[in-house]
Amino acid sequence: MNTVRLVLADDHALVRQGLRSLLELTPDLRVVGEASDGEEALRKVAELQPDVVLMDVRMPRMTGLEALRALRRTDAERRVVLLTTFDEDAVLIEALRLGVQGFLLKDVSLEELAEAIRRVASGQTLLPPGVAERVARGMAELPRDFPHADLPEGLTRREVEVLRLIARGLSNREIADALGTAEGTVKNQTSSILSKLGVRDRTRAVLRAMELGCL
């Protein structure tokens, strides 16, 4: 069993202790360092080279978002999960643009927390359905300094339909049910969408389509 090494960053010691206590119950997850603000988190990441950084959005001296922005200047591939209450859409959108891999509520269960960390460590992006819908609304409301673009060449009408359902947070099975087709067909269409948009996962596909004015 591969062990996922973690750095926790939160300005509340009790929160860090609670998260560590939960994670210590899971044999394949190990907390190797803690930080109380963004600056300390950056130092810990550089020193310990964790697989995943679990970081609060709001911290003194340097927030989680500021730390993520600074981290991306030197470490574009580090897996980062933000701990948040999902109360600021603009923060979510900016974090996604900076390449965050996931969001978690602080009151998440142990099973959900552990599974989310494993998924992010394996290369997936974790964006809960409710957040996907809020990000979509937020993107529509933000001012844009680039012109409306046509659909990328080769994207079919059905692929656009699938992309819009992905943006609503639906799973492949739910999309298949909505469109009256097979789940395998939706998986193939999703792979085609990712390829045509030049992205690696569903979240980036939605964000790219929003930037292009496709949704």
* Residue range 170-190, pLDDT digits in tens: 788 888 988 888 999 999 999
| Token pair for 130 | 């409710």
Q: What confidence score (pLDDT) does residue 54 get? A: 95
Q: Which CA distances in Å does 98 have to 2, 31, 159, 206?
A: 27, 24, 26, 15
Query: How does residue 130 score in pLDDT terms, banded at 50, 70 and 90?
Result: low
Distances (CA, A) of 138 to 38, 101, 188: 25, 18, 29
Q: What are 42's two structure tokens?
A: 């950056």
CB atoms within 10 A of CB 123: 11
Global pTM reads: 0.66
Write the pLDDT tens digit of every residue in 136-170.
555 555 444 433 345 555 788 889 888 888 877 77
pLDDT of residue 134: 57
Q: What is the pLDDT of residue 178?
A: 86
What token pair was written down for 151?
């659909």
Amino acid in position 98 = L
Q: Quickly list DSSP for 152-169.
A: PTT--HHHHHHHHHHHTT
pLDDT score recorded for residue 121: 93
Angstrom distances, CA of residue 11 to CA of 15, 37, 113, 155: 8, 6, 19, 45
CA distance 213 to 40: 39
The pLDDT value given to residue 148 = 39
Residue 51 phi, psi (nearest 5): -75, -40
Q: What is the pLDDT of residues 15-36, one digit of tens each?
A: 899 889 989 889 999 999 999 9
Domains of the chain and CATH, by start: 4-128 (3.40.50.2300), 134-212 (1.10.10.10)
